[in-house]
Amino acid sequence: MIISFANHKGGVAKTTLTLNVADAFAREGLDVLVVDLDPQANVTSLLYSAEETPGVPIEQVLSGNASIAQAVIEKTNIDGVHLIGASLKLANLERQLQSTPFASTSLLAQKLVPVVPVYDIIILDTPPALSFLTANALASADFVFTPLASGSKLSLVGADDLVAFINQARTANPRLKFGGAVLTRHDTRKKVCRLVQGATKEYYDHVLLATMPATTDVDKGQIVNRTVLQLERDSNVSRAVVEIAREIMEIIGIKSKKGRTK
């Protein structure tokens, strides 16, 4: 099962959800693989290292210079979560591929085939652009989820373009379903958040009931490379992350494997 977080708006918590939900999935006993498809390599910095680039980053797999198995990093900052990392050079590869007339949006999907049966869930983090890499993510995924920062009136600007892009991706990948919009930095006490929550339903077929509150724990955690669950299991935001992860599992039809012996 492959899911992707996608929204061409920057800073809406695609990466934050990828990492935190990955941790929550692993705590449900699932085998999780995160793939960094963003040339900013934020997931790689937080899950692996900000100083070192991975030995075999995703661009080497996409360019045919390494196998996907070689790219998997098993020891990451989150127990039970494996990573295929990226480096800044992913941007060069994207430029090259974009100018290749027969570059395929199903390139990533083909490369992922050997790892799909190995993991319960693969999460693709995407860049803030409706670009070749995001198209490849959507051409590989079973479900796409769209994070939205609910504290800004502008968060739904461009939603039409994203919905059209997702619909277009379905021609390459008819399996792709829209899993739902996920409200982040959500504060029900704030009028703007309630307004955005209401308006989201007009743009997106489904909006998750669980929302992620605004919290300083995300930034605090980033400083020490920890997820909110690793920082404090009993915080409001941790409970929210677990709820989001469980709602996603319900939508995509994956059951918890908590307590299983590996």
Ligand X SMILES: Nc1ncnc2c1ncn2[C@@H]1O[C@H](COP(=O)(O)OP(=O)(O)OP(=O)(O)O)[C@@H](O)[C@H]1O
Site residues, Mg ion (CB under 5 A): 14-15, 42
> CA angle 97-36-65, nearest 5°?
50
Sheet holding 121-125, edge to edge: 72-73, 81-84, 32-36, 121-125, 2-5, 143-149, 177-184
Residue 109 interaction partner, one of Mg ion, ligand X, none, beta carbon < 5-8 Å per kind: none
Q: Which is nearer to Mg ion, 15 or 200 (CB)?
A: 15
Q: Is 42 in the site for ligand X (CB under 6 A)?
A: yes
Q: Which is nearer to ligand X, 50 or 101 (CB)?
A: 50
State phi, psi for 51 to the nearest 5 degrees.
-95, -40
Q: Contact letters (x/-) for ligand X, 203-232, by CB under 6 A?
A: ---------x-xx--xx--x----------
Among 2, 3, 6, 12, binds ligand X (CB under 6 A): 12
Q: Is 21 in the site for ligand X (CB under 6 A)?
A: no
Among 131, 140, 155, 184, binds ligand X (CB under 6 A): 184
Q: Is 139 in the site for ligand X (CB under 6 A)?
A: no
Among 11, 80, 151, 158, binds ligand X (CB under 6 A): 11
- Separation CA 37–CA 119 (nearest Å): 18
Q: Which residues contact 57 (CB under 8 A, 6 or more apart)?
A: 44, 71, 84, 85, 86, 87, 89, 90
Q: Is 10 in the site for ligand X (CB under 6 A)?
A: yes
What is the nearest approach in angstroms of ligand X to the Cβ of residue 226? 12
What is the nearest approach in angstroms of ligand X to the Cβ of residue 199? 19
- Which structure tokens are listed for 191? 């009028």
> CA angle 49-51-54, nearest 5°?
55
Q: Is 197 in the site for ligand X (CB under 6 A)?
A: no
Among 97, 185, 200, 242, binds ligand X (CB under 6 A): 185
Three-state DSSP class for residue 26:
helix
Pairing of strands 81-84, 72-73: antiparallel
Q: Is 13 in the site for ligand X (CB under 6 A)?
A: yes
Q: How far is CA 235 from CA 49, 213, 262, in A?
A: 26, 11, 29
Q: Which is nearer to ligand X, 85 or 110 (CB)?
A: 85
Q: How far is CA 91 from CA 16, 56, 95, 96, in A?
A: 21, 15, 6, 9
Q: Which spans of this chain sit near ligand X (rule: CB under 6 A)?
A: 10-16, 38, 40, 42, 128, 184-185, 212, 214-215, 218-219, 222
